[in-house]
Structure 1
Amino acid sequence: KAASSSPEVEYCFKNVNNSCIKVSRSLGVRAAMYVILMSITIITICGNLIVVISITHFRQLHSPNNFLVCSLATVDFSLGICVLPFAIMRTVETCWYLGPVFCQLLLCTDNLLSYASIFHLCFIAIDRYYAVCNPLTYTTKITFRVVYIFIGISWILPTVFSFGLIYTKANVQGIEDLVVILSCEGGCILMFNKLWAVLASAVFYIPCVIMISIYAKIFTVAKRQARMIKNMEEKISMEERKSRENQKREQKAAKTLGIIVGVFLLCWLPYFIDAPIDVYINFATPTVVFDSFAWFGYANSAFNPLIYAFFYPWFRKALKLLITCKILSSSITTFYPNDSH
C-alpha cells in the first residue's frame, strides 16, 4: 500500500529564498472573492464619481457643505482607483507580485486616504454644528474660504503623516529584528512599533470622539428646535415659515451626514481596535481576519454614495441625467428648485 503524501506547500515565488507561503484556495472560493471585492470596488468608483460630477457640474449644488462632501467623495474615489484593485490581488492571491517600492507607495496611499476620510468627516461635523446650532452666524462663519482651508488640512496633514512616517521608517524603529523575521518575499504588510501603533490609533480615535460629541450636541439642539417649530407652527408668518423650513433642511442634512459618520465608525472600528492589539501580540492576528477587517473598512467608501442615493433627491436626479447622457447638454447646469435638498 503506497504511503500517503502530505500536501505540497505552495510559495509565492518558487525559486526565491525566503518566499512567502501562498494560501491554497479552490477556484470557486477565489472566483467568489473576486466577484465580491470587485463589486465593492466598482460601486466605490462609480458611486463617488457621480457625487463629484454632480456637485461640480450643477451650480445649485455649489455650497460650502457640498464642497466638503465632494472632497470626501474624491477621497473615496481615489481609494477605489489607487488602492482597491491592488488590495484585491493581495487579498485573493495572498501574495504581492509588484515589488517592494510599489508596496510602500500603496501602504502610504492607503493610510493617507483612510486618515483623510476621518479629517473630512470631522470638518463636516463642524460645518453641520454651525448650520444647526448657530444658523444666524453660519454664512459668516463657514464661508467658501474656510471650507477650502478645511479641505487643504484634510489632505495635507494625512499626506505628511502617512508618507513621513513610513518613508522615514519611524513606524518600525526598535522592532527591526522582528520585521526581518516576519518579512518574506511576496508580502506587503504595514508594521508599527508600540509607540506608533498607539499614536496612529489616536489619529483615528480623537477625531471620532470629537465627531460623536458634536453630533450629540447637534441632535439635542435639533430635537429642541423641532419642538419649538411644532408649537409655533400656526402662529408664525410666511417669512418665519421659510426660515423654519430652512432649519428643517439643515437638520435633515445633519441627520444624513450623522448616518454617514455612524456607518464610518461601524466599518473602521474593528480594524482600528485590532491594529494596535496586533502589535502587542507580535502580529499574531491571522491574515484572513486582518484582511476582513481592512475590507470592511474599505466597504465604507462604497456605502457613502448608497446613503446619498437613499437620502438626497439631487443624487438620484444626477444619476438619471448621467445614465440618459442629458448631463452632457450645456443647458443643464441646475436642478429644479427643490432638487438640491
Structure 2
Amino acid sequence: MKPSTPSTVCVLFHVFFGSLSAVTICGNLLVIISIIYFKQLHTPTNSLILSLAVADLLVGVVVFPFSMELSLSSCLFSENVFCKVRNNLDIPLCTASILNLCCISIDRYYAVCHPLTYRTKINVHVVMIMIVVSWSVSLLLTIGLVMAGFQQDKCKEECSIDLQFAVILGLLCIFYLPVIIMLCIYLKIFLVAQRQVRSIQGTKSGATASKMERKATKTLATVMGVFLMCWTPFFFYFSFQLLNPVSFAVIESLNWLALLNSMLNPFIYAFFYSWFRSAFRLIISGKIFQGDFSNSKLH
C-alpha cells in the first residue's frame, strides 16, 4: 500500500538532491549574469563558457528534478513517465554540456599553442558557429535516439539490432569521440606549456618557473580529471549494459555522478579566474543593483 507520508530516508534524499540542484542553478546563474553584465567579460572564450553555463543551468533546472523523482520512485510510486521525460531532456542538455567543454578545449589550444594567430583563428563568428554546432548536434542526436526508440516500440525484437547500433553510435558521438579529442588537445597544451616554462627559466628564477609549471599541471589535471571522474563511470557502465542487464540503483547512482559535472563546471571554468571571482562578489553583495558597474575593472 502507498504510505500516507514519505519515509524519513526519502525526505532526506529529496533535501540532498534538491540542494545539489540549487547549487548547480546558483553557480551557473552567477556565471551567466557575470558574462552578460560586465563588458570586460565580453570575449569569444567567455561566450563558450556562457553557452556551457546555459546548458548546465538547464540541467540543474530541468534534469535534476526529474532524475530525483525517477531515482526515488520506489519511495513515491512514480509512473515511468519520469523516465521518458528525463531521458528526452537529459540527452540533449548533457550532450550540449560535453560538446561545449570540447569547444572550450579547442579555444584553449589556440590560445596556448598558437597565441600569435589566436585572435584571427578564434573570433566572434567562429565561436558562434561552435555554439550553434554544439547545440544542433545535441538536438539531432536526441531526435535520432528518440526515433530509434519509437521504431523499437513498433517492431519489438526485429529492431533490436538497429536500436543497439543507434545507441552505440550515440555513445561514440556523445562521449567517446569528444573525450579522445579533449585528451589529445589538453596533452598538447600541457606539453607546450611545459616547453614555454623551460624556455623562460633563463630569465626568471627557477622557483617562479617551477610554480608556473605546477599551476599549468594543476589546471589541466583539474579540467580533465573532474570531467572524466564524473562521466567515465556512467558511460562505461552504460556501454556494458548493452551486453548484460545492470542494476537500476547502480546506473542511477552513476547518472547522478555524471550530472554533478554540471554543478562543478562553474567552479572549474569560472571560479578559477580572479575576474570572475570579483564579478561574483559584486553580484552577491548586491552592488550591481546600486549603480552601473558594467564597465568596472575586474581584477
| Match among 214, 217, 230 for residue 267 of structure 1 | 230
Q: Is the deviation greater in 143-152 or in 225-234? A: 225-234
| Match among 279, 285, 288 for residue 242 of structure 2 | 279
Structure 1: segments with no counterpart, 5+ residues = 1-9, 13-24, 180-191, 235-247
1:20-73 residue CA offsets vs partner (Å, 9 max, x unmatched): xxxxx9823212211221111111100001001001110001111111011101
| Match among 186, 192, 198 for residue 227 of structure 1 | 198
Structure 1 moving runs of 4+ over 6 Å: 251-255
SS at match of 2:117: helix
Per the alignment, residue 85 of structure 1 pairs with 65
Shift of 1:206: 0.8
Per the alignment, residue 316 of structure 1 pairs with 277
Query: Cα RMSD over matched residues?
Result: 3.0
| Match among 29, 35, 45 for residue 65 of structure 1 | 45
1:83-138 residue CA offsets vs partner (Å, 9 max, x unmatched): 111211111233674674x7534322210011111211111111111100000000
In 1, Cα distance between the equivalents of 2:167 and 2:190? 33
Structure 2: segments with no counterpart, 5+ residues = 206-211
| Match among 75, 90, 96 for residue 110 of structure 1 | 90
Matched, 1:128 2:98: no
Per the alignment, residue 218 of structure 1 pairs with 189
In 2, Cα distance between the equivalents of 1:63 and 1:154? 18
2:190 maps to a residue whose letter is F
Matched, 1:141 2:108: no
Per the alignment, residue 167 of structure 2 pairs with 197
Q: Percent identity?
A: 39
Residue 96 and residue 158 in structure 1: after superposition, are their counterparts in 2 closer, same or farther (change >3 A)? farther
1:297 maps to a residue whose letter is A
Shift of 1:253: 8.5
SS at match of 1:285: coil
In 2, Cα distance between the equivalents of 1:178 and 1:84? 34
Shift of 1:280: 1.2
TM-score by length of 2: 0.86
2:285 maps to a residue whose letter is T
Residue 83 and residue 58 in structure 1: after superposition, are their counterparts in 2 closer, same or farther (change >3 A)? same
In 2, Cα distance between the equivalents of 1:75 and 1:293? 20
CA contact (8 A) 1:52 1:73 kept: yes
Residue 26 and residue 170 in structure 1: after superposition, are their counterparts in 2 closer, same or farther (change >3 A)? closer
Looking at secondary structure, tell me which structure has more helix per residue: 2
In 2, Cα distance between the equivalents of 1:138 and 1:97? 51
Shift of 1:285: 1.2
Q: Is the deviation greater in 294-303 or in 258-267? A: 258-267
